[in-house]
Amino acid sequence: MGIRIALAGNPNCGKTTLFNALTGSNQFVGNWPGVTVEYKEGKYKSDKEVTIVDLPGIYSLSPYTLEEVVSRNYLIDERPDAIINVIDGTNIERNLYLTTQVVELGIPVVIAINMMDVVEKNGDKINTKKLAEEIGVPVVEISALKNRGLKEVVSAAVAAGKAALPQEPKHRFNGSVEHALAHIEELCLHNISDANIQRWYSIKLFERDEKIQEKLGLSKDVIDHIEQDITSCEKEMDDDAESIITGERYNYIGTIISGCVKKANRGMTISDKIDRIVTNRILALPIFAVVMFIVYYISVTTVGTYATDWANDGVFGDGWHLFAIGSKDYNDASEEFTGNQLIVDGYDLYVEENGTEPTGDFEYPVEDEETLKVDYETASLEDYAAAKAYLEKNEEPDPAEYGVWVPGVPVLVEKGLDALHCNDILKALILDGIVAGVGAVLGFVPQILVLFIFLAFLEACGYMARVAFIMDRIFRKFGLSGKSFIPMLIGSGCGIPGIMASRTIENDRDRKMTIMTTTFIPCGAKLPFIGMVAGAIFGGAPWVAPCAYFLGIFAIVVSGIMLKKTKLFAGDPAPFVMELPAYHWPTVSNVLRSMWERGWSFIKKAGTIILLSTIVIWFLTFFGFTSDGFRMLEEDEISSSILAKIGGAIAWIFAPLGFGNWEATVASFTGLVAKENIVGTLGIIYGASGDVYQTMANAFTSASGMAFLAFNLLCAPCFAAMGAIKREMNSAKWFWTAIGYQCIFAWVIGLICYQIGSLILAGSFGVGTVFGFLAIAVLIYGLFRRDKYKN
């Protein structure tokens, strides 16, 4: 039989660093049944018979947070062979509070005093031998970061687990409390099979722990009888039961500390000095803005974008030049060829439109690859002659002829399919559906991994704890915790890591509300869409993009206020108590491991969903009924596709928003696969009519264009992000609640934009305008109505 050891300790005590050091790559990461809280399990590197479980960081075994409930349920129900209680040696008094509870479970305990290198550096001294005598458990000095004392602590835990001797707590409470505890044990706990845990149960019942009352199935008569004992003790000691137990524990800890720990007389620590600057009421926000600008700039604008472009255009595109050998020469040749081709095509277009050749300078169209915006440049007849002569002598450059060329995955797959003589439908399915779907996911992985590296570093060094503290004062006014700010900030790069970052929020209601509202902030994938709307409908107005971001912030604030007044999210944000750990340099291995765990989770969960959805969208887009029957369609026949028919059938939903046509409806639906798909879909649909921008400008008014923009920015995010929402919610009911709220809220905002916008800009008034004002009234009511759940 193997030995199972649980690691229990406060947040930021170095428990996860110890776990990683003990298990290495022999880890399994998953979710506790029914909740979003993660657990880690691994085999001890030096003995595969020893399994180590990393419990969530907790401050006590009381049911204050989801993590505490999960950890204590594991310890009570699973009963590991031994517990290694990891203690931060630099903050031993607070850490021992959990220890006093753990030793009452009857499970063999070994205390691992971590960060002893820092303790010694600070000049502090801990008498571990005397500490072991006072608490009645083995105590081992370790430094998880420096790999010091790790074998010793595991050996002690294995020995304790094999001996299987029940842990006997040495601490005893005040006489009145002990009298009440004895009564409780005698009344309802004598039948518990495991007598070693009876004392812990009695203490929890004394504290009126409702979850323990339910677990034990106590009748109302028994609970009333227990209440008499508790009330009697409270009157005698003039305090409430929970405070009595807490006070007694800290009195006990105080006597231990006074005899076992000697603190050096020193001034402010380096962390204190840094915090005087980074948590300063005036400087905190500017410093944070600079830090996150650097993170965002590197992750999304520079390194992350370069890596993502390489993945999209190279690995999942035509290919790439190995180590960029020959890329410059190819780019120069390609730009020259493309420029000359545009001039010749422009000349031919002029002849086609005017029926005569130009006698002087002429304009030719140049289309932006991302936004599809068409600009016009001027060329002379000499330019045309030179361009024509160039094209007669030169063919389009082949990147494979420059430097060392590595073909991309689609190219290799296509060659393989051609070699197998696959039919066109299967070939299109594999290339446009499966390969494109996988590429759409994996193409963003480099950018996400860069973000995760920065996040892991900032979390591990202790700075993210300060950010939550700084933002709590502001966010609390809108019903959110300070920890909600981080996911929203990250969501401006990509909604998926933003959603996943909500795990740092302990309060379950606040976490769910943060998940529901994080994707309101425009992510990087929405930028091409924003640019397209700004260019086509608003003539490239510079105010459109900022308005998109302000709209996201507005949606978050309004949602926070309204949702907090509903039963689902009732109550003020949880009391914000957070430890500010000492600043330290995290290990490279821990940062990379954290990055990979998050990234791999994204690849597995979000990837499968977007892959399947892309295949479905591909089928609906390129198949339909024509005069020739049901068949695969060409790009210019997309109006006959199944997706177009579906769009036409439900376009009425968006009629009050001003874009009740199948084209805009279909674009909104394909945007659920990936928001940048909106640009591609409209490019295919409107491209058949010529200038995409001009056709789009004719299809939308300013009011309907703003409604179209608002709806697609605020409605349900892409399938990959929806997959992340489903995983983090871990509940089909909550998942559909989140998606439903986002879509309804987006529709209401779109209605207001179009109806009130039409009234202001065009003086248009009708039934829809009345509903627009009604929607505004509903929002105002939701914001200012009395909160009957406040207390």
495: its two tokens = 């909604």
Q: The tokens of 529 are what?
A: 């869409």
Q: Quote the CA–CA distance of 284 and 768 in Å, as a whole number.
A: 46
> Among 37-51, 129-143, 470-484, which range has the highest average pLDDT?
129-143
Spell out the domains of the chain, with CATH numbers in brackets.
Answer: 3-163 (3.40.50.300), 178-262 (1.10.287.1770), 267-297+408-571+601-791 (no CATH), 322-405 (no CATH)
pLDDT at 564 over 90: no
* Closest by Cα among 622, 347, 315, 598 to 442: 315
Q: In degrees to the nearest 10, what's the CA dihedral of 552, 557, 559, 562?
A: -160
Q: For residue 687, report the phi and psi dihedrals to the nearest 5 degrees.
A: -65, -30
Burial class (CB in 10 A: 0-12, 13-18, 19+), 639: middle
SS3 call for 674: coil
Rg of the Cα atoms in the chain = 32
Q: Predicted confidence band at 505 (pLDDT cuts at 50, 70, 90)?
A: confident
> Which neighbouring-strand residues pair with 364?
377
- The owner of tokens 């472009």 is 309
Q: Is the pLDDT of residue 597 over 70?
A: yes
Q: Give, to the nearest 10 degrees, the angle between helix 588-622 and helix 642-650.
A: 90
Give the H or E element holding residue 39. strand 38-44
Burial class of residue 766 (count of CB atoms within 10 Å of its CB; 0-12, 13-18, 19+): exposed
Mean pLDDT of 674-698: 70
Tell me: the pLDDT tens digits for 43-98? 998 888 999 999 988 888 887 777 788 888 899 888 999 999 999 988 888 899 99
* Helix ranges (DSSP H) in 185-240: 198-206, 210-216, 220-237
Confidence label for 660 from pLDDT (cuts 50, 70 and 90): confident
What does the angle CA 692 – CA 698 – CA 700 come to, to the nearest 5 degrees?
100
Question: Please, which pLDDT band fits residue 429 given cuts at 50, 70 and 90?
Answer: confident
| Residue 640 CA: distances (Å) to CA of 199, 215, 431, 625, 661 | 73, 60, 22, 6, 14
Contact indicator for 23, 52 with CB cutoff of 8 Å: yes
In the predicted model, what is the mean pLDDT of residues 668-685?
Answer: 75
Q: What is the DSSP string of 320-381?
A: EEGGGTTHHHHHHHHHHHHHHHHHHHHHHHHHHHHSS--SS-EEEEEE-TTT--EEEEEE-H
pLDDT number for residue 4 = 93
Percentage of the chain exceeding pLDDT 70: 87
At 402, the amino acid letter reads Y
Cα–Cα distance between 615 and 621 in angstroms, integer? Answer: 10
Instruction: Report how far residue 626's alpha carbon sits from residue 633's, in angstroms, rounded to the nearest whole number.
Output: 9
- Mean pLDDT for 569-595 is 72
Q: Which two tokens stand for residue 668?
A: 């909104």
10 Å CB burial of residue 88 (0-12, 13-18, 19+) is buried
Give the count of beta carbons closer than 10 Å to the beta carbon of residue 380.
Answer: 13
What are the pLDDT digits (tens) for 601-642? 667 655 665 567 667 777 887 788 887 888 888 767 777 888
Are 115 and 90 in contact by the 8 Å Cβ rule? The answer is yes
Other C-beta atoms closer than 10 Å to the C-beta of 93 total 12
Instruction: Say how far apart CA 360 and CA 380 lie, in whole Å.
Output: 6
CA-wise closest residue to 641 among 616, 658, 659: 616
Q: Give the model's pLDDT for residue 130.
A: 93
pLDDT score recorded for residue 546: 78
Q: How do residues 476-497 score in pLDDT, each as one tens digit?
A: 776 666 667 767 766 766 777 7
- Give the type of residue at 767: V
361 or 194: which leads in pLDDT? 361
623 HSE (CA, 13 A, CB side)? 14
Burial class of 592 by CB neighbour count within 10 A (0 to 12, 13 to 18, 19+): middle
For 760, other C-beta atoms within 10 Å of its C-beta total 11
Distances (CA, A) of 511 to 508, 515, 557, 565, 728: 5, 6, 15, 16, 9
Q: Which residue has the higher pLDDT, 718 or 578?
A: 718
Residues whose CB is less than 8 angstroms from the CB of residue 476 and which lie 6 or more positions away in sequence, other chains included: 482, 572, 573, 576
| pLDDT in the model for residue 624 | 87
Cβ neighbours around 220 below 10 Å, total: 7
85-94, 210-219, 297-306, 535-544: segment of lowest average pLDDT: 297-306
Cα 58 from Cα 71, distance rounded (Å): 8
What's the DSSP call for residue 279? T
* Amino acid letter for position 710: A
**Quick check: 572 pLDDT over 70?**
no
Strand partners for 53 = 6, 41
Phi-psi region of 189 (alpha: psi -120 to 50; beta: other; left: phi over 0): alpha
Count of positions (residues) in the chain: 791
Measured CA to CA, the distance from residue 63 to residue 487 in angstroms comes to 25
Of 9 and 532, more confident = 9
pLDDT for the residue numbered 385 = 94
Phi first, then psi: what are they for 58, rounded to 5°? Answer: -140, 160
| Residues pairing with 168 in the sheet | none
Q: At what angle do helices 508-518 and 732-762 cross, to 10 degrees?
A: 40
Question: What's the token pair of residue 353?
Answer: 């439109």
Q: For position 736, what pLDDT does the model report?
A: 93
In tens, the pLDDT along 730-781 reads 888 999 999 999 999 999 999 999 999 888 888 888 888 899 899 999 988 8
> Helix axis angle, 702-714 relative to 527-536, nearest 10°?
180
530 half-sphere exposure, CB direction, 13 A CA radius: 21
Q: What is the per-residue pLDDT for 267?
A: 66
The per-residue pLDDT for 156 is 94
Q: How confident is the model at residue 504 (pLDDT cuts 50, 70, 90)?
A: low
Q: Give the torsion sign (CA, 254, 259, 265, 267).
A: negative
Question: Is residue 574 within 8 Å of residue 507, measured between CB atoms?
Answer: yes
Q: What is the pLDDT of residue 456?
A: 81
